Structure 1
Amino acid sequence: MLNIVLLEPEIPANTGNIGRTCVASGTRLHLIEPLGFSLSEKALKRAGMDYWKDLDVTTYIDYQDFLDRNPGAKIYMATTKARKIYTEVSYEDDCYIMFGKESAGIPEEILVQNQENCIRIPMMEKIRSLNLGNSAAIVLYEALRQNGFAGLEREGKLHRLSWQ
């Protein structure tokens, strides 16, 4: 099972949308405090819709608590400062993909210690960053693709319509 990690997320709608994506993809969500909102906020639940109750979510008091409770975890860190593109790594089926807060990303002191595992989404030079929810979905679905979309429904079904 893949893991999405949000380090100090600030916007409840982004976290709600990412939570919904996690439920749809069978992915765990990890939230590292401080959060810029309460987990009971209406905006968060509205963005996650009725899926929030089905979400496998764990919260941590800080980054060190996250590391302590997930020893040996393989963590990829999404940042605009990375040299590697997100498609240039091989995602293990139990890896963690971390995203920083909307206003500042992952702190540079953390990135410097993890340079080999930093990844980026290519974009135009003058754009600061993509929306957090979009970024999480882009990278997560690449990791899912690399792992054969294990456990996910791969085929939809059309219902025949009668025009008579």
Structure 2
Amino acid sequence: MRLAACLGVPLDIIEPCGFILDDRRLRRAGMDYIDHLDLARHASWEKFVAGTKRGRIVLLTTRGSIPYLGFTFEPGDTLLMGSESAGVPDSVAEAADARVRIPMRPGVRSLNVALAAAMVLGEALRQTAPVGMATDGMGTDGMGMETGRD
């Protein structure tokens, strides 16, 4: 939530999440950033797909075929992350338009979701933000970020 608020990108949470997210926990997790957050919650993957206008879905996954630094992001892309422990269901992975990965040393499992999101979102914004916006913190050009298990 903090990443999306600070970088000015919308955040969609697709349930069920890999964590409990009732109103009290949402307010606590959002701290003072929640008032600066463009947040939408979706009861399921199907409801997200049916109710959201977006560009390509780019899934961050350890099983991705393309290193994120070699991927060409486009304005309107939606970055999708699953839970740290289980990723996304196979049906969701199959619905993605692209699957990117962060290259890592052999023998290590994965980065945490927030760190992975920050790395890939930073590169996506560098590639897609209008001249000057990628470095001045003044917002994005339609890049979105989704998180959830399903």
Does TM-score exceed 0.5, indicating one fold?
yes
Instruction: Report how many residues are paired.
Output: 135
Q: TM-score, normalised by structure 2?
A: 0.79
* Structure 2 unaligned residues grouped into runs of 5+: 138-150
CA distance in 1, matches of 2:32, 2:95: 38
Residues 60, 101 of structure 2: 8 Å contact kept: yes
Are residues 1:40 and 2:29 paired?
Answer: no
CA distance in 2, matches of 1:127, 1:41: 34
CA distance in 2, matches of 1:57, 1:71: 15
- Which one has the largest radius of gyration? 1
- Tell me by how many angstroms 1:72 deviates: 5.6
Q: In the alignment, what sits opposite 2:104?
A: 123
Are residues 1:50 and 2:35 paired?
Answer: no
RCO higher in structure (CA 8 A, sep ≥6): 2
Q: TM-score, normalised by structure 1?
A: 0.72
Alignment of 1:68-147 (within 5 A): 68-71=50-53, 73-114=55-96, 117-147=98-128
SS in 1 for 2:79: strand
- Tell me by how many angstroms 1:108 deviates: 2.3
Mark the CA change 1:58 to 1:103 in structure 2 (over 3 Å): closer, same or farther.
Answer: same
CA distance in 2, matches of 1:107, 1:58: 21
Cα RMSD (Å) = 2.2
1:4-63 deviation line (CA, Å, top 9, x unaligned):
xxxxxxxxxxxxxxx111111110000001132124335x54543311121100010100
